[in-house]
Amino acid sequence: MTTIELDGRGWRSRADFYAALLPRLGAEPWVGGNLDALFDCLGGGIADLAPPFEVIVRHVGDLPADELAYVRRAEQVFDDARAEFGRDVRLRFV
């Protein structure tokens, strides 16, 4: 399983999360920075990284509370993609 580690130190918004994550997934440049686009990306065909993979995100404590809550919703997006598409993709915050 491929492991992608992201360091959230210095992140101030969800845009920082997507700017770090999407290139690591090999997402097409036109993939948007939102949860729906992330779900589509995890479904296949618009990102180069093939499952199985796990994304580990560290040091997000400096994000404003509302931005952190939004970014944490990406865990559910990964869970939903795994269930719907049968692809072994995982996200966890440590």
At residue 87, the 3 state secondary structure works out as coil
Dump pLDDT digits (tens) for 23-37: 999 999 999 999 999
For the segment 64-93, what is each residue's pLDDT rounded down to a tens digit?
999 999 999 999 999 999 999 999 999 999
pLDDT recorded at residue 44? 87
Q: How large is the average pLDDT for residues 40-49?
A: 92
Say which CATH number the domain at 49 has.
Answer: 3.30.370.10
pTM above 0.85, yes or no: yes
What's CA 1's distance to the chain center, in Å? 16
Domain total in the chain: 1
- Domain span holding position 67: 2-93
What lies within 8 Å, CB to CB, of 33 at 6+ separation is: 14, 15, 18, 19, 22
